[in-house]
A and B are shown apart, each in its own frame.
Chain A
Amino acid sequence: MSSASQQACIVGIGQTEFSKASGRSEQQLAAEAVLLACQDAGIDPKSIDGMITYALDHSDEVDIMRSLGCEEIKYTTRLPQGGAASVSTIVHAKNAVESGICDTFLIFRAMNERSQYRFGQPHFNLSPDAHSSTFMEWCFPFGAQTPAAWEALSCGPYLHKYGITSEDLGRIAVTFRKAAASNPAAWFYEKPITLDDHQNSRWIVEPTLRLLDCCQESDGGVALIITRADKAKDLKQMPVRILGAEYSMFFNHEIISDFYAGDLIRTENSESVADRLEAVAGIAPKDTNVAMIYDNFTPQILRQLEGFKYCGIGEAKDYVKDGHLELDGKTPLSPNGGLMGEGYIHGMNNITEGVRQIRGTAANQINNAQTAFLASGVAGAIIGK
């Protein structure tokens, strides 16, 4: 079944605990997660020959190499767009190993986004010319200074057009927290919420986002090791194949501050990714067994369900209400509890969960999961056995 373009496999995953105060440096969190991923795969960290992360990670490749003893790196790049790049890393990892440039490719992400800085608060020290932050110039002087504010402003037209209520968004948060409640690795383990809890939580951004519509600020590190099928067969774990990984960014669009192009109703980049993924993987995102969809804020789930064609435009709120995202539903959503429930390592912990689901080793294991969809807005990947 596998073609020349389907040789990449995820063979190792590692993650630290997810907390609010890790008590150690981001570099150390990264090094620990990488070592765990290498041990999981059964490879020597010194053999890593390519590595990437994305914007807003403070750990340089040089420092990762210093701790892990990697002998020679032949490929590295730092992707733009923050958390939206979490699944874009899979596109690059796939290309790096299938092209033969790299044999043992590392994806890493480590952040003390709660204890060292407050990721969801305004940041005054960012240069407007810095990577992924030029948009700040057009938001900051007007008091739109947090990710929650940008997200809510961008989603406004969509939420208004389809009459989406706070309760509609609350159901999504309840779904995540229900899954997190039975995942011991989740920060919100054994802490489910009710729709009333959501409705009673304080406003973060009026008239859209309450506290329980937002992901957490978390400390932690996550790492994955990717190689080709020919190498993977000798390693410790059942390889999890990357059946397709696609990316899309259209003219004049931004990520969280997506204000300037399109109707702000449809998400054309997700639609493009969904179509290309179905063509290369031979399966549509909606027909996979698990949906790991980036949940920085609840409206993102609705827009991505529609963009990645789980349902028609304007239908996502009913798709959620009808229970399709429940663990026993048609397309279970983030059985780890997602970024809201488990931890927010900028999207990467949703990818390790996708791998566990295919291996059959997840805390909330979906029966007979053959394929999983990984999504972060502009990027999508389908992984499977």
Chain B
Amino acid sequence: MRPDPIQRIDTAFFWEACERGEFVAQKCEPCNKLWHPPRPMCPDCHSLEKSHAKLSGKGTVMSWVRQVRPASFGFKESPFVILVELEEGLRFVSNFESEDAPEIGMAVQVDFAKTSGGKAVPVFKKASSV
């Protein structure tokens, strides 16, 4: 299991999307730019008018670690933590779901994992080579 996400006013849309099985990013309505982490205002055009856009869920591993001591709180076993560079140019901290460690540069694809309180968070798997 894993801990529930922490939610704030400006970020609730992201976690709610996860519960629907959607991996999204904040989108500025007037200028269409995507942002992560979410923020109250678009730093380019300063609009407060925002929605969210569904992401492809494809990316590459930029970095990975595994927290050994102390072990990751709320997990049966410390997961592989990855920093993913998403196809859309955003970056996202997540997990690599596998027995084996990921490699930097590896292509990954989003999936979802349940949390202890019945919520969901995006995690990644090795992209299937098609």
Contact = CB atoms under 8 A, between A and B. Distances in A.
Interface of A: 121-122, 124, 128-129, 134-146, 148-149, 152-157, 160, 202-208, 211, 251-252, 259-260, 264
Interface stretch (B26-34, B47-55, B74-82): B74-82
17 contacts: A121-B70, A128-B8, A134-B37, A137-B6, A137-B7, A137-B8, A141-B115, A142-B95, A143-B67, A144-B81, A149-B81, A154-B63, A206-B101, A259-B91, A260-B36, A260-B37, A264-B62
Given A142-B93, A143-B79, A204-B68, 4 more contacts: A142-B79, A203-B69, A205-B68, A206-B66
Given A156-B65, A156-B83, A203-B69, A144 B93 contact: yes
B98 to A, nearest CB: 14
Given A128-B8, A143-B95, A148 B67 contact: yes
A207 B78 CA distance: 13
A143 B78 contact: yes
Contact of B83 (A121, A207, A208, A259): A259
Interface of B is mostly: loop
Q: In the complex, which range does the number of interface residues on chain B fall in?
A: 35 or more
Contacts of B42: none
Interface of B: 2-8, 11, 36-37, 43, 62-70, 72-75, 78-79, 81, 83, 90-95, 101, 104, 115, 121, 123
Nearest to B64: A156
B73 A124 contact: yes
Given A142-B94, A260-B36, A203 B68 contact: yes
Contacts of A141: 2-6, 115, 121
B68 A157 contact: no
Contacts of A138: 37, 92-93
B104 A157 contact: yes
Contact of B81 (A135, A143, A202): A143
A122 B65 contact: no
Nearest 3 A/B pairs, CB to CB: A156-B63, A143-B72, A149-B67
A137 B8 CA distance: 9
A207 B8 contact: no
